[in-house]
Structure 1
Amino acid sequence: MKGDFPRLLLSGTNSGCGKTTIFCALLQALKDRGENVAAFKCGPDYIDPMFHRAVIGAESGNLDSYFCGEYLSAVFADSARDLNLIEGAMGYYDGLGFTDEHSAYDVGRRLHAPAVLVADGRGSSLSIAAQMQGFLRFRKDSNVRGFILNRVSRGVYEGIKKIWNEECGAKLYGYFPVLPEELAFKSRHLGLVTAAEVENLREMQMKLAKIAQDSVDIEGLTALAASAPALEYDPPVLPRFPKIHIAVAKDAAFCFYYSENLGLFEKMGAELSFFSPLEDAAPPAEADCLYFGGGYPELYAEKLSANASMRESVRAAHARGVPIFAECGGFLYLNRLLDGYAMAGVLHGESVNKHKPVRFGYVELEANEDCLIAKKGARLRGHEFHYYDCTENGEAFTARRKGSEYRCTAAAKTIAAGFAHVHFYSNLECAATFYENCLEAKKCRK
């Protein structure tokens, strides 16, 4: 298939250059102009898409070539709108290990998306042009079409702009000034704090959008997006099953999900509903599966523990054969204790904060036995980033990353729970296995 999808990749020279702030400001400015815009995030991060959703009021997803492989273009096309902005991760060329594999550059190359890079201009004048020359020429197919300078004054920007085209050969699309403290997004160990936690987010976004309107060439950026060539893509052929009801835990404690996974289940026939382990007394009674994603349950451990009705209901659902799928924070909740607080107790481990990253990065999981989400020998790709560890991490899968391997994930026919966030586009057969096992468990309960 082929489609015309105006698209632009906004990336950065490095982490911390301010690309997320500028990206969200542009999204809000485009929304204010009435544009039908979609947002995407390169890589495995699920926090930035939460900001995108808060800004544009629509779903935002991940574009990860490590996860999606041959289906990357189809995943993009499935959610594309009239205008599509893609946010890069880390530095533009920073990929797996010390390569450009699965970097923002790699995603942009596969999608034939023109790229504009955010560069921190503090303390530089002509030297910033030399740096940009490197980004332009580092790869012949760099797709870099221009830059936005961050943290510079209008006077500095105007001075640089006079010599820019002569010295650099790429367009400057504007600048962002140094922002006051109240407009800065704060960070936590998983990156930015979640959108739901930012006070006065709407007011912040309106102020940031006004800055973008005044200092960024938005018309030029939309014209650049419109110049992207037609994109060829091949949607995967998915099985269609009888309906099942998947109840998804979603609140302040559980908010990290790959929207592509949820959409995949719906395409296969599932109906999704959402419940709060913090506030509700029990999951939906009609649920054929419970799905606990990641988040920050450690911040709400006392309140989660106090909701005894929910904890007991989750245990009872598992006891009567309702499948449960849990990732990272959801895994912590299914265990017996979290920082000494009683959790659901479906599993028997105790989870504690190690105060440093326990594991961080992409991981490939191979099933050691048949279980809820995979048949023996099947491989799934995922991502881990957690400061907590558990006394019982499970042995149903062998995880491989960066030359090491270890056992992980507690799993059986009606449960799969571990630290890794898996992406089912890395193995669509595993998505089908998950769905079929939920169907079989539903029949067995009748």
Structure 2
Amino acid sequence: MNTKVSRIMLAGTGSGCGKTTVTCALLKALSMRGVKAASFKCGPDYIDPMFHSEIIGTKSRNLDLFLCGENTVKYLLSENGKDADVAVIEGVMGMYDGLGFADDTCSANHISRVTETPELLIAGVRGKSLSLLAELSGYLHFAENQVAGVILNHCSKAMYPVYKEMIEERLSIKVYGFLPPVAEAQLSSRHLGLVTAAEIDDLKEKMEALGRAAEASLDIDGILQLASSAPALSCEEIRVQQITEKPVSIAVAKDKAFCFYYEDNFTLLKRLGAELVPFSPLTDKEIPAGVCGLVLGGGYPEEYLQQLSRNTSMLVSVREAAAKGMPVYAECGGFMYLGKSIEKDGSVYTMAGVLEGRSHMTEKLVRFGYKSLTANRDNLMCRQGEAIRCHEFHYSDSDFSGDGFTASKGSRSWQAVCAGDTVFAGYPHLHLWSNLHFAENFVKKCEAFAWKSSSL
């Protein structure tokens, strides 16, 4: 299939250069102009897409070459970008930062090459004069890339003409504007990155301030023209059909404590026949009536431990549903919630007790990064020997992380995931487009539970 998608990638010189700020500013400016934008984030990040989604009013998506592979990345970009006026893709870390130190595999730059997407390189100018040229020159000539222009961040209106002339004359590359510091639009951070969009009371005002700044200082017409120059995306179509006789209701935990999800996972589950029903382990008394499956994603349960622990009716509801054999799929924070307890700052908080493990918060990242999972036995999601790629990002650990899968990263391997006939729960985050069979099996097991429940 060949699909015309007008698209641009905002790559950066490194983490902290302002990729998310500039991306949000551009998305908001486009929205204010009435331009329909689709947005994407390179890599496994959950938080940045939340900000994108709040601005454009539709869900942002992830593009991840390690988790999904080249064809699936191009397919998801095509499917989710084809009806938009422009697709805006935010990079990850520095534009060349990927799996390791040998090359740029799975980096933002790699994704731009695979998808033939023009890149705009975001560079901060604070504390730099001529050194900015050396920095930009290094990025432009280090390796094969699609860089077609530069955006300057933390740049004043007065200094912009000086930088622009210097860059365009000495490096022969176009500068597509700048973004000045916008004090009223500063975003707070915590241990996993920015606080989530839902936690910022004045987010609308912050984004409007960014949008006004972008409209005044970015060459938006030029950016749109550059995006339209991208060639058609070519990939093999991935056919996904409903596998259930009728839609099956699956409850999904969605609130401030559980909010880390890949939107394309939801799309896949729905195409297979799932009807997703959101609920809140924080505030609801029990899981939704009539559901035949349960999904508990990652997030920040550690920030709401007292509230989660005191909502005993919900804990009982989850525990009883699992005991009856309802299929349960849980990742990271959801996995912690299913355990006996979570310890933080010397206090222990009772959780659902579906699993035997007890979790505790840590001072540093544990088992961080990409890896592969291979099933040690048949389970809810797959058969023995089947594999799927995954990602972990957590400041916590458990005294039992499971032994249903063998996790591997390079030459190292270890046991992971509590996996049985009706439960898949562990620290790894899955992108279900990495192995469609996992999603298919989960939906089928939910349908089987629905039939079993209706016959009782």
Say whether the fold is shared (TM-score over 0.5).
yes
Is 127-136 or 373-382 further displaced after alignment?
Answer: 127-136
Amino acid in structure 1 at the alignment position of 2:179:
F
Paired position in structure 1 for 2:197: 195
- CA deviation profile, 1:317-341 (whole Å, cap 9, x unmatched): 1111111000000001001111211
1:225 maps to 2:233: no
Report the secondary structure of 2:304's partner residue: helix
Task: Report if the CA contact (8 A) 1:378-1:430 is conserved.
Answer: no
Cα offsets for 1:227-265 (capped at 9, x unmatched): 111111222122421122111000011000011111111
Partner of 2:20 in structure 1? 20
Q: What residue number does 2:73 align with? A: 72
Q: Which letter does structure 2 place at the counterpart of 1:204? A: K
SS at match of 2:223: helix
Q: Distance in 2 between matches of 1:211 and 1:322?
A: 50
Partner of 1:172: 175
Q: Which moved more, 1:151-160 or 1:213-222?
A: 151-160
State the distance in 2 between where 1:403 and 1:30 align: 46
Aligned counterparts of 2:250 and 2:236: Cα–Cα separation in 1 = 27
What fraction of aligned residue pairs are identical, expressed as a percent? Answer: 46
Shift, 1:39, TM fit:
0.5
Q: Residue 433 of structure 1 is aligned with which of 406, 419, 441?
A: 441
Mapped to 2, the partners of 1:15 and 1:402 lie a distance apart of 24
Counterpart of 1:41 in structure 2 is: 41
Cα deviation for residue 370 of structure 1 reads 0.7
The one of 356, 359, 362 aligned to 2:370: 362
1:358 partner SS: coil
The aligned runs of 1:398-437 (5 Å cut-off) are 398-437=406-445
1:127 aligns with 2:131: yes
Offset at residue 443 of structure 1 (A): 2.8
Tell me, what secondary structure is at the counterpart of 2:317? helix
SS at match of 2:393: strand
After TM superposition, the score normalised by the length of structure 2 is 0.95
Alignment partners' CA distance in 2, 1:208 and 1:238? 39
229-238 or 291-300, which moves further after superposition? 229-238
Please say if 1:240 is aligned against 2:242.
Answer: yes
- Paired position in structure 2 for 1:389: 397
- Secondary structure in 2 aligned to 1:133? helix
- Structure 2 Cα separation of the partners of residues 239 and 366 of structure 1: 26
In structure 2, the partner of 1:311 is 315
CA RMSD in angstroms, aligned pairs only: 1.2
Distance 1:177 1:36 in 2: 25
| 8 Å CA contact retained: 1:67, 1:382 | yes
Q: Is the 8 A contact 2:149 2:175 kept in 1?
A: yes
Deviations 1:145-203, CA, capped at 9 Å, x for gaps: 001111122222211222322211110011122332x4221211111110111231111
CA distance in 2 between partners of 1:408 and 1:372 (Å): 15
Q: Which deviations, in whole Å up to 9, do the C-alpha atoms of 1:106-135 show, x marking residues without a partner?
A: 111111110001101112222212221222
Q: Structure 2, unaligned stretches of length 5 or more? A: none
Give CA deviations for 1:281-322 in whole Å, capped at 9, x if unaligned: 111121110000000011111111111111111111111111
Deviates more, 1:292-301 or 1:347-356: 347-356
> Is the 2:86–2:227 Cα contact (8 Å) retained in structure 1?
yes
Farther-moved stretch of structure 1 (349-358 vs 4-13): 349-358
1:302 is aligned to 2:302: no
2:10 is aligned with 1:6:
no
Q: Paired residue for 1:336, among 333, 340, 351?
A: 340
Aligned equivalents of 1:24, 1:321: Cα separation in 2:
43
- Partner Cα distance (1:235, 1:336) in 2: 44
CA contact (8 A) 1:295 1:329 kept: yes
Give the counterpart letter for 1:130 in structure 2.
A
Decide whether the 8 Å contact of 1:130 with 1:168 is kept in 2.
no
Q: Is 2:257–2:301's contact at 8 Å kept on the other side of the alignment?
A: yes
Name the structure 2 match of 1:102: 106
Taking the TM superposition and a 5 Å limit, the aligned residue runs for 1:286-297 are 286-297=290-301
**What one-letter code is carried by the residue in structure 1 that aligns with 2:116?**
H
Structure-1 residue corresponding to 2:157: 154
The one-character-per-residue Cα deviations of 1:352-377 (angstroms, maximum 9, x if unpaired) are 11121112111111110111111110
| Contact 1:375-1:433 at 8 Å conserved across structures | no
User: Hey, what's the Cα distance between the residues in 2 that align with 1:125 and 1:134?
Assistant: 15
1:417 is paired with a residue of what secondary structure?
A: strand
Cα deviations by residue, 1:43-69 (Å, 9 ceiling, x for unpaired): 000110011111111110100011111
Q: Secondary structure at the match of 1:14?
A: coil
| One-letter code aligned to 1:176 | L
C-alpha offsets along residues 345-403 of structure 1, whole Å, 9 cap, x if unaligned? Answer: 11121111112111211111111011111111011111101111111111000111143
Q: Which amino acid aligns with 2:24?
A: C
2:147 to 144, 148, 163: 144
**2:40 match: secondary structure:** strand
2: distance between equivalents of 1:417 and 1:158? 54
- The SS at the match of 1:154 is coil
Tell me the secondary structure at the aligned position of residue 39 of structure 2. strand
The more displaced of 55-64 and 427-436 is 427-436
Q: Distance in 1 between matches of 2:201 and 2:289?
A: 35
Separation in 2 of the partners of 1:6 and 1:239? 28
Map 1:274-289; keep pairs closer than 5 Å.
Answer: 274-289=278-293
Q: 1:415 Cα deviation (Å)?
A: 0.4
CA contact (8 A) 1:384 1:421 kept: yes
1:206 to 205, 208, 212: 208
* Distance in structure 2 (CA, Å) of the matches to 1:309 and 1:72: 41
Deviation of 1:22 after TM superposition, in Å, equals: 0.9
Amino acid at match of 1:161: K
Question: Is the 1:253–1:295 Cα contact (8 Å) retained in structure 2?
Answer: yes
Secondary structure of residue in 1 paired with 2:111: helix
